[in-house]
């Protein structure tokens, strides 16, 4: 293999640039030519492809977002779109592709695999909802961003004796809410993977007030419902002076944490090793603190990400 390509797809995540840097520099170190594809699968089909040198990825490891940009491209779900993408890869002589992204990006890589084209998936999403890995690139930075906001909101909540519903991103997964909730000392964590009873939430808030508690922090995963809807339903059980804070896309941005930079660097270098060994149709991940690779078709079709619900139980025991 002499030429490989890399693209980032779907929602951006802090650490994607570190992964790009690792793929490019490891590839060049091993004597490969590395090509960057702008705007994900949309850029692939359009032929928006350029050769990358060492200098092109200098001073990007600390930057959030992705220097290769990203775009949604539903057309790549069709066989026609996939074959157009492969045609462009062949046109540029690119023999293997590294795809950095989340669930939709992985499905694109899986489609290429089914067409016999060597592709390696790297999990890059703040949602931490990809099977085959304990942690995704961007997750650690995202929960620390949420935590900073939670700490600030706590000051206001205490000063005014209020209940705050803090809605966080995560799509259909509750990992961001779960981890930032435990770390932030949330009174309640509401996630899609665990049922909740609004009456019990209200009872818990009232119990805390009777003990003299000055605030209540509820971390709500967006996959359950919106923060305003939650506050409205809670109001049926009493006036808890509730305010809503929706953190939104601010959680995606910012300089990646040390953990995300190291994780991305490991994943990127390993992806190059796999392609050089003639392997494709794989996704890399971190399991039990070891970098691993697994069949991407089997991983997506037969596995499902599961959050660490022991953290949910832990929070119930220490936050009341």
Alpha helices (H) in 130-287, listed in sequence order = 139-160, 175-183, 198-210, 227-234, 258-276
**CA 74 and chain centroid, separation:** 19
**What distance in Å separates the CA atoms of residue 145 and residue 129, rounded to the nearest whole number?**
18
**What distance in Å separates the CA atoms of residue 21 and residue 1, rounded to the nearest whole number?**
19
Instruction: Name the phi and psi angles at 184, rounded to 5.
Output: -95, 0
In angstroms and rounded to an integer, the radius of gyration of the C-alpha atoms of the chain is: 22
Residue 59: left (phi > 0), alpha (psi -120 to 50), or beta?
Answer: left
Residue 222: left (phi > 0), alpha (psi -120 to 50), or beta?
Answer: alpha
Q: What is the DSSP secondary structure assignment for residue 124, as one 8-state letter?
A: B
Among residues 125, 86, 121, 117, which one has the least CA distance to residue 299?
Answer: 121
Among residues 252, 237, 246, 253, which one has the least CA distance to residue 218?
Answer: 246
- State yes or no: is 155 an active-site residue: no
Number of residues assigned to the chain: 320
**What distance in Å separates the CA atoms of residue 111 and residue 78, rounded to the nearest whole number?**
9
Query: Which of the residues 12, 48, 127, 260 is marked catalytic?
Result: 127
- CA dihedral angle for residue 124, residue 125, residue 131, residue 132, rounded to 10 degrees: 30
**What distance in Å separates the CA atoms of residue 61 and residue 218, rounded to the nearest whole number?**
34
Q: Please list the active-site residues.
A: 127
């Amino acid at each position: 293999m002499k030429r490989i390509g890399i693209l980032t797809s779907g929602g951006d995540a802090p650490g994607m640039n570190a992964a790009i840097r690792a793929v490019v520099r490891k590839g060049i170190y091993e004597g490969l030519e590395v090509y960057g594809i702008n705007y994900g699968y949309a850029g692939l089909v359009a032929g928006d492809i350029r050769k990358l040198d060492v200098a092109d990825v200098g001073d990007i490891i600390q930057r959030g977002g992705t220097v290769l940009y990203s775009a949604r491209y539903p057309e790549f779900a069709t066989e026609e779109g996939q074959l157009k993408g492969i045609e462009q890869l062949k046109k540029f002589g690119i023999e293997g592709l590294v795809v950095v992204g989340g669930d939709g990006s992985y499905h694109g890589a899986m489609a290429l695999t089914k067409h016999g084209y060597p592709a390696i998936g790297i999990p890059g999403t703040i949602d931490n909802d990809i099977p085959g890995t304990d942690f995704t690139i961007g997750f650690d930075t995202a929960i620390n961003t949420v935590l900073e906001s939670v700490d600030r909101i706590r000051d206001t909540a205490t000063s005014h004796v209020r209940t705050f519903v803090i809605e966080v991103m995560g799509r259909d997964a509750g990992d961001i809410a779960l981890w930032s909730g435990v770390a932030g000392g949330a009174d309640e964590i509401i996630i899609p993977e665990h049922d909740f009873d609004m009456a019990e939430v209200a009872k818990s808030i009232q119990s805390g007030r009777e003990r003299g508690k000055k605030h209540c922090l509820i971390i709500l995963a967006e996959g359950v419902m919106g923060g305003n809807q939650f506050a409205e339903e809670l109001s049926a059980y009493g006036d808890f002076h509730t305010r809503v804070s929706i953190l939104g896309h601010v959680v995606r941005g910012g300089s990646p944490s040390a953990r995300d930079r190291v994780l991305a660097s490991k994943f990127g270098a390993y992806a190059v090793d796999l392609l050089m060994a003639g392997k494709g149709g794989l996704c890399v991940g971190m399991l039990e603190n070891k970098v691993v690779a697994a069949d991407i078709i089997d991983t997506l079709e037969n596995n499902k990400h599961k959050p660490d619900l022991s953290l949910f139980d832990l929070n119930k025991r220490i936050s009341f």
